[in-house]
Copies of this chain bind each other. A is one copy, B any other.
Amino acid sequence: MSKVKLGVKNCLYPLPTTLVGANVDGRPNYIAIAHVGVMALKHISLSMNKRHYTNAGIKENKAFSVNIPSENLVAETDYAGLVTGKKVDKSRLFELFYGELENAPMISSCPVNMACRLHDIYDTQTHDLFIGEIVETYADESVLARTVVDISRVKPLLFDMSSKKYWSLGPALADCWRVGMTIKKKNRG
């Protein structure tokens, strides 16, 4: 197989599109962020350009929410990424609720919400990498299978930079830490 060189091209996609909520100047604000990461069971990261309006609110309150929108919120989610809180009041874009953290406004219409305490900021020239510790997770009953979040019911918006599109989640393929057991057994002889 011959390989084509593409230059420096980030292909670590798709990533789940989130709506990050924070109080900025005492008013709830939301922004669409898909440059996220998982660091450990309780810790997640959000990469946010320093020009964004939301960053100051996260720094001031040391709290934010990460909300997972479903496919039916694709237009609202995209809109929250199109307009800045500097110019547009987004506080009434969504019905909100507060949980454990008084400065982490969460979006009722998103089926999953994580209230996060700001744990640390990894600073780069252009971006604040906000490292959050999840303090409490909230979910709609409609996306739970018993007490576990069923991602196929969440219907997340998967962001891909190359196509600049939101993609849907397809069917499950295989079980982790299991489908590879056949190779493990074969190699043992």
Contacts from A to B (Cβ < 8 Å)? 1-16, 18, 34-45, 47, 66, 68, 71, 74-83, 88, 97, 99, 108-109, 112-114, 122, 124, 126-127, 129, 134-141, 144, 147-152, 154, 156-160, 162-184, 187
> Do A171 and B167 have beta carbons less than 8 Å apart?
yes
Total copies of the chain:
2
Cross-chain contact A47 with B40 (CB below 8 angstroms):
yes
Contact A167 B166 (CB under 8 A): no
Query: Besides the contacts A1-B109, A8-B41, A82-B177, what 20 more A-B pairs have beta carbons closer than 8 Å?
Result: A3-B138, A4-B138, A4-B140, A8-B137, A9-B137, A9-B149, A10-B38, A38-B47, A39-B127, A77-B180, A79-B183, A81-B177, A148-B163, A151-B160, A165-B175, A166-B174, A166-B179, A167-B173, A169-B170, A170-B171
What is the minimal beta-carbon distance from A17 to any residue of chain B, in angstroms?
9
C-alpha gap A160/B141 in the complex (Å): 19
Taking CB atoms, residues of chain B closer than 8 Å to A76 are 180, 183
- Which residues from chain B contact A173 at a C-beta distance below 8 Å? 71, 74, 157, 165-168
**Given known contacts A41-B10, A163-B172, A174-B74, A80 and B137 CB-to-CB distance under 8 angstroms:** no
Subset of 29 A-B contacts with CB under 8 Å: A1-B140, A2-B141, A3-B140, A6-B136, A6-B137, A7-B137, A10-B41, A10-B44, A11-B114, A11-B139, A12-B37, A12-B114, A13-B16, A14-B156, A15-B37, A36-B37, A39-B45, A39-B127, A75-B183, A78-B180, A79-B180, A79-B181, A79-B183, A148-B162, A152-B167, A157-B173, A167-B169, A169-B170, A170-B170
